[in-house]
């Protein structure tokens, strides 16, 4: 028997239950992973709530989560990719991230083809903090807009999990970074993570504040907040600038009239998903290798986020929804 955090119905954080379950031996092509660090993601909250992008009805009970790191305990028939004792991490298991979940557990059987072996110098806690959020930052920077010296970038919710990595990485690439944040305390954290300027966007209109810093407008906006920030950001972006909406912490971005992009300066908008970025295994592995190198170089510092015990996942969800967390949140079984 192992312990897992399950839900038997959709609802608030109180529906999370810490329960004993039986885990069968790993099946064909699977490896049994003893989790040592489990990621908390905004998507987990959406699955718990029964959120807007759940296409197929959930079959309860459901173990939440789809990203973790740990050690291979045993392998099923036909597994050649890993062996017992290997340190590994994974994000998603051959389905949309919010389907086939199950990482909020002490152990889990995972298709071996989904596992990434961790190199020396990258801890399991760092890997759990890095996989989805780092691959999302990699998607934005490598597929959409790569900042260079001379660019000014606006990063919304700069102390969020993805926002922290985008801030560190954009600064490393030589950009001037403006971060919006929800509190003065978060402003200090954002500065420590590479933001040259911070704006308290819950108290002030960020558009004129950005224009004061960079009157011609920013080269790109990286936005995981969505509804509250994306369209207003058109007014602080330079002509031909990029607006990347990778998330929706405040809700869906409303539909955009494409003619608005011409009127606002021939802007470029995109709404990328990490799953496209990692769909080809060789490209996924290359993206992970780049992230691990950036961690080893000290460019990405992901271990300073918030940590909870897995059995306290209910509190972790409450804090995430109350905008109290900073950086990548990791839960320890
Ligand atoms: N495209 C993809 O493939 C992909 C991949 C990963 C994540 N995402 C999405 O990207 C978004 C950010 O993910 P993350 O892991 O970086 O998030 P996170 O660490 O949980 O941070 C979210 C932050 O958003 C801000 N926020 C603004 N309005 C909010 C609201 N109404 N409720 C809660 N938070 C609000 C808060 O910062 P302040 O207090 O500073 O405002 C909060 O701390 C999520 O929507 C997530 O689902 C997308």
- Tens-digit pLDDT profile for residues 216-234: 999 999 999 999 999 999 9
3-state helix, strand, coil in the chain (%, to 5): 30, 25, 45
Residue nearest to atom 22 of ligand 1 (CA): 160
| Domain count across the chain | 2
Q: Are residues 154 and 72 in the same domain?
A: no
Mean pLDDT of 37-49: 95
Looking at the DSSP bridge assignments, the partners of residue 244 are: 222, 270
Mean pLDDT of 262-269: 98
Testing ligand 1's pocket by substitution, the residue of 92, 249, 304 carrying the most ligand atoms inside 8 A of its CB is 249
Domain termination residue (choose one: 274, 292, 324): 274
Q: Is 316 a member of any domain?
A: yes
Strand-pair category, 152-155 with 176-181: parallel
> What confidence category does residue 304 fall into, taking pLDDT thresholds of 50, 70 and 90?
confident
Q: Are residues 10 and 107 in the same domain?
A: yes
When computed from its CA atoms, the radius of gyration of the chain, rounded to whole angstroms, is 20
Percent of the chain with pLDDT over 70: 99
Q: Is 279 a member of any domain?
A: no
89 touches 118 (CB < 8 A): yes
HSE value, Cβ hemisphere, 13 Å, CA-based, for 14: 0
Q: Are residues 46 and 150 in the same domain?
A: no
Q: Are residues 114 and 143 in the same domain?
A: no
- What pLDDT is attached to residue 56? 76
Euclidean distance between the first and the last CA atom of the chain, given in angstroms as a whole number? 14
> Rounded to the nearest whole angstrom, what is the distance from the C-alpha of residue 224 to the centroid of ligand 1?
5
Is the overall model pTM greater than 0.95, yes or no? yes
For 271-327, give the DSSP string.
Answer: ---HHHHTSSHHHHHHHHHHHHHHHHTTS---TTS-EEEGGGHHHHHHHHHTT---S
Testing ligand 1's pocket by substitution, the residue of 42, 156, 327 carrying the most ligand atoms inside 8 A of its CB is 42
Assign residue 105 the CATH number of its domain: 3.90.180.10
CA–CA dist 20, 4 (Å, integer) = 6
Assign residue 243 the CATH number of its domain: 3.40.50.720
Q: Is 26 a member of any domain?
A: yes
pLDDT digits (tens, 9 = 90+) for 65-100: 999 999 999 999 999 999 999 999 999 999 889 999
Q: Is 84 a member of any domain?
A: yes
CA–CA dist 232, 227 (Å, integer) = 9
**Has residue 122 got a pLDDT over 70?**
yes
- What pLDDT is attached to residue 58? 84
> Rounded to the nearest whole angstrom, what is the distance from the C-alpha of residue 78 to the centroid of ligand 1?
39
pLDDT digits (tens, 9 = 90+) for 193-213: 999 999 999 999 999 999 999
Q: Is 296 a member of any domain?
A: no
- SS3 for 14-57 is HHCEEEEECCCCCCCCEEEEEEEEEEECHHHHHHHHCCCCCCCC
Q: Is 293 a member of any domain?
A: no
Q: How far from 241 is each of 34, 222, 261, 267, 303, CA to CA, in Å?
A: 45, 11, 10, 5, 32
Q: Are residues 151 and 216 in the same domain?
A: yes
Residue 166 structure tokens: 């985008």
Q: Are residues 210 and 107 in the same domain?
A: no
Domain that holds residue 270: 135-274
Residue nearest to atom 43 of ligand 1 (CA): 323
Q: Is 180 a member of any domain?
A: yes
**Has residue 300 got a pLDDT over 90?**
yes
- What pLDDT is attached to residue 246? 98
Cis (ω within 30 of 0) for the bond into 45?
no
Task: Enumerate helices (H) and strands (E) in the chain, giving the number of each.
Answer: 9, 16
CA–CA dist 139, 273 (Å, integer) = 8
> What confidence category does residue 52 fall into, taking pLDDT thresholds of 50, 70 and 90?
low
Q: Are residues 191 and 235 in the same domain?
A: yes
Q: Which residues line ligand 1 (CB under 6 A)?
A: 41-43, 132-133, 136, 157, 159-163, 181-182, 186, 224-225, 228, 246-250, 272-274, 320, 323, 325
Q: Report the candidate in 102, 162, 116 with the shortest Cα–Cα distance to residue 281.
A: 116
Q: Are residues 145 and 14 in the same domain?
A: no
- What pLDDT is attached to residue 260? 97
- What pLDDT is attached to residue 303? 82
Q: Are residues 140 and 266 in the same domain?
A: yes
Mean pLDDT of 106-116: 98
Q: Is 298 a member of any domain?
A: no
Return the C-alpha torsion angle 282, 286, 287, 288, nearest 10. Answer: 100
Q: Are residues 206 and 328 in the same domain?
A: no
Q: Are residues 183 and 151 in the same domain?
A: yes
Q: Are residues 153 and 268 in the same domain?
A: yes
């Amino acid at each position: 028997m192992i312990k897992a955090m399950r839900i038997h119905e959709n609802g608030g954080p109180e529906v999370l239950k810490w329960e004993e379950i039986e885990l069968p031996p790993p099946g064909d092509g699977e490896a049994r992973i003893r989790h040592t660090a489990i990621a908390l993601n905004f998507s987990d909250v959406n699955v718990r709530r029964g959120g807007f992008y759940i296409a197929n009805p959930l079959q309860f009970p459901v173990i939440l989560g789809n990203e973790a790191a740990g050690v291979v305990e045993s392998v099923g028939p036909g597994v050649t990719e890993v062996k017992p004792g290997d340190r590994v991490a994974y994000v998603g298991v051959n389905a949309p991230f919010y389907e086939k979940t199950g990482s909020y557990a002490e152990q889990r059987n995972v298709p071996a083809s989904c596992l990434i072996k961790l190199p020396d110098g990258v801890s399991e806690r760092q890997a759990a903090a890095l996989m989805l959020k780092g691959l999302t930052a990699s998607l934005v920077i490598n597929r959409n807009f790569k900042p260079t010296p001379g660019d000014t970038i606006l990063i919304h919710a700069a102390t969020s999990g993805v926002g922290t990595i985008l801030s560190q990485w954009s600064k490393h690439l030589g950009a001037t970074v403006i971060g919006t944040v929800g509190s003065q305390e978060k402003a200090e954290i954002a500065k420590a993570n590479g933001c040259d300027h911070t704006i308290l966007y819950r108290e002030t209109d960020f558009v004129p504040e950005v224009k004061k810093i960079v009157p011609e407008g920013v080269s790109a906006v990286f936005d995981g907040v969505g509804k509250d920030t994306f369209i207003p950001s058109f007014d602080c972006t330079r002509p031909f600038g990029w607006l990347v909406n990778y998330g929706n912490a405040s809700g869906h971005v409303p539909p955009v009239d494409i003619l608005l992009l011409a009127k606002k300066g021939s802007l470029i908008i995109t709404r990328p998903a990490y799953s496209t970025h990692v769909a080809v295994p060789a490209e996924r592995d290359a993206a992970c290798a780049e992230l691990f190198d950036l961690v080893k170089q000290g460019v990405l510092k992901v271990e300073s986020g918030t940590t909870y015990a897995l059995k306290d996942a209910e509190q972790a969800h409450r804090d995430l929804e109350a905008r109290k967390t900073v950086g990548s949140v990791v839960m320890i079984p």
